[in-house]
Structures are given as structure tokens and as C-alpha cells.
Chain A
Amino acid sequence: MKDIIVENICKSFPKEHIQALDDINIEVEKGELFGLIGPDGAGKTTLFRILTTLLLADSGSAIVNGSDVVKDYKAIRRKVGYMPGKFSLYQDLSVEENLSFFATIFNTSIKENYDLIKDIYEHIEPFKNRRAGALSGGMKQKLALCCALIHRPEVLFLDEPTTGVDTVSRKEFWDMLKRLKMEGITIIVSTPYMDEANLCERIALMQKGKILSVNTPTHIKSSFPDPLFAIKTEHMIKLLADLRAIPEIKSVHSFGEYHHITLNEPSENELQLLHQTLANDKHEAIDIKKIEPEIEDCFIQLMSN
């Protein structure tokens, strides 16, 4: 069963001359952990705001949990949880007050759905009398997640939940999402971090309001068209310039420790030649190896098409 069906959604902001969403089509299965991956300005938040009935699309239609986002917006508001990218709970209310406030406006109580948030709430329970504004970034995220879950939603929208959160908290957060998935909640999460894409069941790569690809992370990675090589020498900056000057090389991108390259006609011979050329260019400690593509490689490859 499809829990979210997005068909031909377009949205522009004429004042800013931005086409935020350009003919978006997505389908998300019930109980799926779905990721929207893309840099800032890709249109992730706009899509979320349309699906959570905060914004009207210019054209196209969207159905969330069987309800149309325009006609049945009231029904949707009862059964979705939304955690905006920006922390938007009451900073001057305590942790517990925030939670019980949101429970009340959904006509429920903390007790009623405590089992759902127990694992998450336990982390912040020692600070339940502290004002939300005085919490650390990771704790704020957990509180916001609790508030979005307190009414036991069918669909959970998380807009960049891990942006600005430390690595340990990020890992914890993804573990929590996996547990929530087991409760049967459909989760859509957006993130600008490519490494988090692997933690989703299926992902949509987004760029400038368009969907580049929708598939499982494994499938997206395996459909990378060329063999990929990582290359490293003593002088990485000079290397980048030198590689770009070699006509046999199809693409060069800097990836931290290594540069990732693809060749026009990949073969053992070509690699030997490349090694030779670099040695002639006075590079030392040349290290070239074949690697498996990551989501980021795929994203860049799709983007440049």
C-alpha cells in the first residue's frame, strides 16, 4: 500500500524567481523509511511543507495516508507528525510542559502514548523541568521528536533532523528512527548528508527542485556507469590541477583524502599511463586504486548529466 503519493507537484516563488519544485513525482510505501537527499535549496523543505498542509502547491496533487493535502487537510493534521528543520517548540516552557501541551492539542496525553516515545524520552527525562531553550542541540532534537510523536502519527516528516547535531547524537537519532519504523510508522526524512542516505530504505536524490533518481541506496550505487578510481599523491592541490589537464580523464572530484576519477576508456593500460604521466609531473607516493562508488559520487554524476 502506498502511504504517500506525490504527482506532478510544482511550486514556484515568483517574488524570488525560484522554481522550488519542478514536476515532482514520488511514491512512498506504508512503513517505509524514505530519505530525501539533496543540498540546501534542493526543495526538500518546500515539499515537506506541501505534504504537511502548510503550503499550497501551484499544480499537481499529493495524497498522504489516503487523504488529499488540499481537500482533507484537517484529516492530515490529525495523523501526521512534523518536525521542522528549525527548532520550533516553546523555549520558555519546560520539556515536560512542551510535551503535555502538544499532547493536549492533539486530544491525548503523555501517558496514553508513552510506550512510543519511551526510548527517546528517557534520554531527556532527567531534564524534564528545564526550559526547552536551555537544552543542548541533541536534546532539543529528541524533545522535538517526542512532540512530533506524542499523538502516535501514521506518517512522520523529519526535516533535516540531524543538521547541527554531533556525530554521536546523529547515530543515536538514526537508531531511534529504525525502532520507530518497527512500530509501522512511515518516516520521511530529509538530509543534506550523503552518508546518511545508506541508512534509508529508499532515497530520492534532489537538486534544484528536481528529482534526479529514486531507488534503494544499493541500486543507485550499482547503477554508477563507470569504474571509479581513488587517487592520492603528496601534492593534492597540484594533483587536482594536473588531473584536470589530462584529456583521458572523464571526471575529477575532490573527496577529502582522495580525488575520485573516472576515465574515458578505462583499462589497466590507461592506468599505467596515468601513473607514468603523474610521475613525469613530479608527483611522489602515487596511490591509485579502484573503489566502489558512494552516494555522493552518484549524486555528482547525476547532477552533471
Chain B
Amino acid sequence: MRTLKFLLVKEFKQIFRNKSLLPMIFMMPIIQLLVLPLAADFEIKNINISIVDHDRSEYSNDLINAVTSSGYFQLVSFGDSYQAAMNEIELDASDLILEIPSHFEQNLIKDGAQQVFIAVNAINGTKAGLGASYLNSIIQNFNQNIMVDAIASGNAAPLKNIEVVSLNWFNPNMNYKIFMVPAILVLLVTMVGAYMCSLNIVKEKEVGTIEQINVTPIKKHLYILGKMIPFLVIGIFIFTIGFFVVARLVYQIVPLGNLFLLYGYLFLFLVALLGFGLLISTYSQTQQQAMSIAFFFMMVFILMSGLFTPIESMPEWAKYIAYSNPVTYFIEVMRMVVLKGSMLKNITNHIYVMIGFAIFFNTWAVMNYRKTS
């Protein structure tokens, strides 16, 4: 016990003396949580639109007003030549073309139906897709209003139609920050485990201090514990700052679920991940090697975790990767507990899986550590 205490004292001294590590521990959660959610914003504003109006009627004017006043679109050109608008697209100045045919108003009143034409620049798929769907819903809305006007003025019979209204549960305003911030917090903790822990152990190899340690009667498990506990503490510390300072104060995210449950799961996750960090360190001789391996897995962990894209929409084979990724489970648990207030019984499966990961990584790491030393 005395030895472990001394190992921890030594480890913390070294961490606090590291001029580049310490600011990172404090600044990383704050800066990343402030910046990353903005970058991960799926709402698209300022879509550039070119409108070609062959009609120039009151109705076409109303439609154009509805589009430009929505706040999503920026009118870059207006005219009556489709070719001119197409040029704008080719110059990348415009993302969308809305073409209103001639006799738009006339046909709309006479036939009760009319078509408009939308052309989308699909170079940036997300922007194009979302732009088109925004425009669709604006036109839909415009349509409704015309009908209501027509009914009110007695020009048409009341319509029987079914309106579908969707309600966003657990996040009523569909505020993407509420589900992005907890997930980004998971990333931060993952970096502590995967990078800091493995780099620290490899550093001892690189400097040669591990030789000196190995000729002492120190017990291997004490040495490993002495390496893991500091990063467990740092991981929990970063999580706490991110959660209670940034998420609470900046994004007003108040977890609905039980905090003990959340921290309990965080602990399990960190044990699994530190095992992973230890594993990396047993396979690398230099910090550069450890860094490259850790970086590779971080990319996979991040992109295959359901952080940015839902796992359900991945191809079948990719789902297997996503579900062999510990980060996936923690992100799910975070979102469940923070947004939905899930209870212990809702995440039992997630807990079992994470215990599995913890045992798997740590056993492998310790076995390999024994073999190499």
C-alpha cells in the first residue's frame, strides 16, 4: 500500500510538472466543448439560391417572399433566364435554383395545381439535401396558405386532409447541442484513456526508466495500478469540468437521469479504455509508435461510434464495427441518461458489455505486458 501511494505521488508530480500536459488537461474540455458542437451543427443556414421567375405575378411574388424570409436562404440572383442561374451554380455562387414557370398564378387558380422546378447543386450532399427539403416544406406551407385563402373567400370547397404533426420527444426543440455535447464529452474522456495513458507508459520505455524499475522487487500489478489510477482520476476530472462547467453553464444541459449511474458508467468505461491504452503501450517501443496506433483507433472510435451519423443507417458490416467499439456504448448511455433520464434497468445491457470490454482489454494487456518484460 505504501509503495502504491508512493507510485501515485510520483506519477502526479510528473504529470503536474509536464508543461504541455497540464494546460491540456484543463483547457481541452473547455475549448473542445465550446468549439466542436458548433462545427457539428447539422442545421444549415445561408443556402445560396437563384430564383428564375417567368411569371412575375402576385403569387410568384408571395412564394419568393416566403422563401427569402425563411432565414435559411440567401437570394444571390433573380431573373428570368434558367441559363443565367445555371451559370451561378457552375461558378459555385449558388446552391439551388427555383424556377417558377410562366402562367404560374393563372394555372394555379384555374387548375388548382401547378409545378415549380428545383435544381440542386449536389457537390455538398448534406447542404443540397437539406436545402431541397427546406424549400419543399416552404412550398408546402405556401400551398396550404393558398388553399386557406381560397376556402375563406368561398372560391373552393373545404378540403379534407390529414396533417402529420411530429413531436420531438426528449429534445422538443430538436436542439442538436443537447445530444452533441454529451457525446463530445465522451470523446474527451476517450482521448485521455487512449493517448495519455499509453504515452505515459511508453515514455518510461523510451527513456529507459522501466529497466531500472524492472530490476527492483516492485510488484507488476502495483506498477500498472500506479499508472492507471492517475489517468482514471484525470478522466473523471475532465468529465466533471466538461459536464458541470461547460455543458451546464454554456449549454444549459441538465441531466435528467441519475448522476451516480452516469459516473458509475464513466468509471467502467475508463477502466476498459485504460486497459486499451496499456495494451497499446505493450505493443510499442516509442511514443511515436504509440501515438500512431492510438490515432488510428481514435479515428475508428470516433467515426464509428454513432456520434455524427446514426448507426442504424450504416451498412450491415459497419454495424459490427460500431458495436465492437466501446465508445458507441458510452455515447448511447450518455444520451439515454442525460436526455431521457434512463434508469439502471434500461442500461443493464450496456453495463454488461462495458464490463466485458474492461476484462477483455485488461487481460490481454496484462498478459502481453508479462510476456514482453
Contact residues of A with B, CB < 8 Å?
Answer: 52-54, 74, 77-78, 80, 82, 84, 86-93, 97, 101-102, 104-107, 147
Contact = CB atoms under 8 A, between A and B. Distances in A.
Contacts of B20: none
Given A77-B216, A92-B18, 17 more contacts: A53-B215, A54-B214, A78-B217, A82-B212, A84-B211, A86-B208, A88-B209, A92-B14, A93-B14, A97-B10, A97-B13, A104-B6, A105-B6, A105-B7, A105-B213, A105-B216, A107-B3
Interface string B5-46: 011001001100110000000000000000000000000000
A90 B14 CA distance: 9
B212 A84 contact: yes
Contacts of A91: 207
B254 interface: no
Contacts of A104: 2-3, 6
Contacts of B18: 92
A138 to B, nearest CB: 19
B25 to A, nearest CB: 16
8 contacts: A74-B217, A82-B211, A86-B208, A87-B208, A90-B207, A93-B13, A97-B13, A105-B3
B216 A88 contact: no
Given A93-B10, A101-B10, A104-B2, A88 B217 contact: no
Contacts of A84: 208, 211-212
Contacts of A107: 3, 217
A297 B212 CA distance: 36
B6 A88 contact: no
B9 to A, nearest CB: 9
B84 interface: no
B148 interface: no
Given A54-B214, A54-B215, A97-B13, A88 B208 contact: yes
A88 B212 contact: yes
A50 to B, nearest CB: 12
Contacts of A102: 212, 216
Contacts of B225: none
B209 A77 contact: no
Given A101-B6, A106-B217, A88 B211 contact: yes
A82 B215 contact: yes
Contacts of B7: 105
A80 B209 CA distance: 17
For the complex of A and B, list the 6 residue pairs with the smallest distance between their C-beta atoms, beginning with the closest.
Answer: A88-B208, A104-B6, A82-B215, A77-B217, A78-B217, A105-B218
A24 to B, nearest CB: 20
B238 to A, nearest CB: 22
Contacts of B10: 90, 93, 97, 101
Interface of B: 2-3, 6-7, 10, 13-14, 17-18, 207-209, 211-218
B160 to A, nearest CB: 78
Nearest to B15: A92
For A80, A101, A104, A106, the residue with the greatest tally of chain B CB atoms inside 10 Å of its CB is A104
Contacts of B215: 52-54, 77, 80, 82
A54 B212 CA distance: 10
Nearest to B10: A101
A92 B10 CA distance: 10
Contacts of B217: 74, 77-78, 105-107
Contacts of B208: 84, 86-88
A148 B6 CA distance: 18
Contacts of A147: 212
A62 to B, nearest CB: 15
Contact of A106 (B17, B211, B214, B216): B216
A84 B2 CA distance: 26
A214 B100 CA distance: 102
A107 to B, nearest CB: 8
A83 to B, nearest CB: 9
Contacts of B6: 101, 104-105
A125 B211 CA distance: 25
Contact of A89 (B2, B212, B216): B212
B190 to A, nearest CB: 26
B30 to A, nearest CB: 26
Nearest to A133: B207
Contacts of A89: 209, 212
A262 to B, nearest CB: 43
B8 to A, nearest CB: 12
A53 B229 CA distance: 28
A106 B18 CA distance: 26
A88 B210 CA distance: 8
A147 B214 CA distance: 14
Nearest to A78: B217
Contacts of A93: 10, 13-14
B224 to A, nearest CB: 14
B216 A54 contact: no
Contacts of B213: 105
Nearest to B209: A88
Contacts of B211: 54, 82, 84, 88
A22 B159 CA distance: 99
B41 to A, nearest CB: 41
Nearest to B19: A92
A250 to B, nearest CB: 44
A32 B212 CA distance: 24
A236 to B, nearest CB: 41
A129 to B, nearest CB: 13
Contacts of B209: 88-90
Nearest to B5: A104
Nearest to B373: A54
Contacts of A88: 207-209, 211-212
A91 B213 CA distance: 14
